Structure 1
Amino acid sequence: MMRANAHPTAALAAAVMAFALVAPVAPVSEASAATTVPDHHVHTAVPSVPAALAELASLDRAGIADLLERTPGLIATLLTRTSAGEAAAWWTGMDVAHRADLIRTAPLLVGSLDGIDAVDRVRANRYAARTRLARVDERLQRLTRGDDEDDAAQLGDLLLERRYLTRVVAGDVHLYLYAPERGAMIEMAGDPSTAAGILLVVPGTNASVRSFMVDDPVTSFADWQAANADPSSPIVAFTVLAAPMPQISLDVVAGPQNNTIATAAGADYARIVKGIDVAFPGLPTLSYEHSAGSQVGSAAEVHGARFDVRFLAGGVGATDGYQPVAGTAYYAAQAAEDVNRYYAGFQVGDIGYGVGPEEIPGVVIVDPGYTEEQATGSVGAMLMQGLDLHNRLFSGDGRTNGTVLKDVRLLLASLARGSGG
């Protein structure tokens, strides 16, 4: 197949056609009851971060609740201005009983504050999910009574979110972050207390909060790795939606071809990665990035995120001017007929990605092991085959993506603490 940088106009046109063949996956509605987080709207002057943290550490549960009620902007301030190191020092400086009080009384803070112990964050998000679930039930009751006509169009989203939150409350899903109001969500898999390595999985084009809730969720790759890790090198895995991702669109400016969307998400990904580094000091990290998620990883490096390994799976690569980071190993897997080959490696300003995944200096090319037939027939049929091959790289099904799943498993084992990489 011709590379995009050889025929850029045709490549971008083909990419647009490819995106048109796939229906966009709409995110859970921002009007959903569970997305209402009043604390994120600053209306009142709040104390400095050190003073606020010290006060929260000194109050009982009633005092904590009163402080949050009197200072509605406090949680938003702490989430945006507290460094991961500050949060970790504050959290570990309190005894277990007081941390439990904060988990129950301020779950939105504890469940979202980077640097805090992962298990405690998951516990806090279970408490927060109970409150969100109650709000969803209230909305569903109003809908049943016909009190709110605007909810009728959101019935499917509400029911999907209710099913998901029920699993969170039951402990079947481990939420590390749940911020649907800003398009961010992280699920954790594996036991953090025994982990010898960290896997970060970044979904790409069309990913949304809803993608975590459907029957074939974006967490399947991370779930497989956590469940099938080398027994001598267990891992903890995070599926990271750091910010809204590009959604499939016929509009070149609004779709995944617009590199500014994934680039913006890179800053959020960097902050999350730095927080995980603080929470798991010394553990090696592998970032597995699918499709436009590879630009998220590339942009995160610009904002100071560091990884032992980056694995670009059907990736778009990076924007013009990108340079790999010394000390990071780069891998790329892409089917010969992957649809991203139509345009990765070509860029005009905000449109496209100038550095293809296989063009990164020093990158190791991994054969995904797919049996492919040469693309023939109609353009639509060719593009559908390319999309199928592209999406398989994010699958946790060993029957369709076994080679890459096993290769990543081996990489994670080689990165285990003390192995020397």
Structure 2
Amino acid sequence: MRRFGRTLAAVVLAGGVVVGTAGWASGDSQRAVTGPPPGAAAWRADAVAGRALPDPARATPDEVARFFAGLDEAVRRELVRSHPLVVGNLDGGPVALRYEANRQAVIATGEGRYGSLASPGRQILAFDPRGRGQVAEVFGDLERAEHVSVIVPGSDNDAASHDAPRKPDTGPAGMARALRAAAGGATAVIAWTGYTTPVGVGLDAADGRLAEAGAVRLARFTAGLDAVGVPDPVLFCHSYGSVVCGIAARHTDATDIVAFGSPGMRADSAAGLRTGARVWAARGPSDWIANVPNVEFAGIGHGADPTSPAFGARRIPAADVVGHTGYFAPGTQSLAAFAAIAKGDVR
């Protein structure tokens, strides 16, 4: 009974933070974007040499990979021309083909806020303009990389803000660039904003609804990488993104899962994630996430602190990290450790 009382008090405290703090109160409820992208119906109605095209909602990434392996280049190009949004978002599709499809899809949207994503040299592996938009961008040579990392961001990230001016080394793209620079050319890094993130730190950030939808998309995305022969990834999961990674952990083939600035991973311990990946955690001394109660009650809160000894994650040094987004700043202990994990140099 006493334990229940402490838990209830913590939940009340969490509610007080949500209601009484300007940063938390700024959140707006978001509707998760799920399912295949626009154009899926036209894709299903099409065929190649009398063969049905793989259903974007039901075909596994392995089935998608086998389908494209049986097509010649001319047919592949025609599918890109006719169905760019579908091809660009088909997990298991050829990497270079998805880049081209998404370039065409961005151009076809005709919206200035996405235009820079179609610039020469950009490697957009996923692009979905629905809602606030979702995007995944590759830094490095994904098809030849010896090591691959995926940045899974938290609140306030979407396709529209992907190229917005930010402090260097923050935001999913900034983190990805910093990690690749630190890890070296044999490592490819993907900035994956492939789910609907919370806006601000309101009730959406306090519950798991968006994370659960995001976890399904993340698991499928990593399965798509596996289907095209990409090395098993390291997941770098920031803030609310660590909630997504925690839920998805058992469904991915990640070698390592790194939670930083985390409010919790919806598990009581690293073992509770039920993953074969090594689990790491970092939190800087001035990160405001430390003020968020680590409880989960009636769907509110995300559970145990991944940096606590009881959780059982491997600790990453972060004593010189400033704030909630400073983990990839050049020269920090955290970035050096992240790079070593990304390269597989830590046993």
TM-score by length of 1: 0.69
CA distance in 1 between counterparts of 2:89 and 2:82 reads: 14
Q: Please tell me whether residue 354 in structure 1 is matched to residue 303 in structure 2.
A: yes
Q: Which residue of 2 aligns with 1:225?
A: 179
Q: What are the ranges of 5 or more consecutive residues in structure 1 without an aligned counterpart?
A: 31-36, 60-66, 68-73, 137-158, 372-387
* 1:12-27 equivalences in 2 (<5 Å): 12-14=15-17, 16-18=19-21, 20=23
CA distance in 2 between counterparts of 1:244 and 1:196 reads: 30
Q: Which residue of 2 aligns with 1:248?
A: 200
Q: Which residue of 2 aligns with 1:168?
A: 117
CA distance in 2 between counterparts of 1:404 and 1:13 reads: 32
Per-residue deviation, 1:256:
0.8
Structure with the higher fraction of residues in helix conformation: 1
CA distance in 2 between counterparts of 1:243 and 1:79 reads: 17
Q: Which residue of 2 aligns with 1:369?
A: 319
Deviations along 1:227-274, one digit per CA (max 9) or x if unpaired, are: 34235xx11211112221122255xxx331122221221111111111
Q: Which residue of 2 aligns with 1:236?
A: 188
* 1:8-407 equivalences in 2 (<5 Å): 8=10, 9-14=12-17, 16-18=19-21, 20=23, 39-40=39-40, 42=41, 46=44, 55-56=47-48, 58=49, 78-133=55-110, 136=111, 159=112, 161=113, 164-165=114-115, 167-181=116-130, 183-216=133-166, 217-231=171-185, 234-248=186-200, 254-281=203-230, 283-302=231-250, 304-320=251-267, 323-359=272-308, 361-370=311-320, 389-393=323-327, 396-398=328-330, 402-407=332-337
Q: Which residue of 2 aligns with 1:412?
A: 342
CA distance in 2 between counterparts of 1:126 and 1:367 reads: 39
With over 3 angstroms needed to count, the CA separation of the structure-2 counterparts of 1:200 and 1:38, relative to structure 1, is closer
Q: Tell which structure's C-alpha radius of gyration is larger.
A: 1
Q: Which residue of 1 aligns with 2:3?
A: none
The one-letter amino acid paired with 1:314 is G
Per-residue deviation, 1:288:
0.3
CA distance in 1 between counterparts of 2:278 and 2:263 reads: 18
CA distance in 2 between counterparts of 1:213 and 1:22 reads: 26
CA distance in 1 between counterparts of 2:7 and 2:320 reads: 25
With over 3 angstroms needed to count, the CA separation of the structure-2 counterparts of 1:174 and 1:340, relative to structure 1, is same
My pick for the range that moved more, 283-292 or 333-342, is: 333-342
My pick for the range that moved more, 5-14 or 174-183, is: 5-14
The one-letter amino acid paired with 1:238 is I
Contact persistence 1:88–1:115 (CA under 8 A): yes
Q: What are the ranges of 5 or more consecutive residues in structure 2 without an aligned counterpart?
A: 1-5
With over 3 angstroms needed to count, the CA separation of the structure-2 counterparts of 1:191 and 1:82, relative to structure 1, is same
With over 3 angstroms needed to count, the CA separation of the structure-2 counterparts of 1:193 and 1:362, relative to structure 1, is same
Contact persistence 1:26–1:208 (CA under 8 A): no
CA distance in 1 between counterparts of 2:135 and 2:180 reads: 18
Deviations along 1:64-84, one digit per CA (max 9) or x if unpaired, are: xxx9xxxxxx98x82211210
Deviations along 1:132-168, one digit per CA (max 9) or x if unpaired, are: 23xx3xxxxxxxxxxxxxxxxxxxxxx4x1xx42x33
Percent identity of the aligned residues? 20
The one-letter amino acid paired with 1:313 is F
Contact persistence 2:151–2:191 (CA under 8 A): yes
Deviations along 1:250-303, one digit per CA (max 9) or x if unpaired, are: 5xxx3311222212211111111111121234x13110000011110011124x
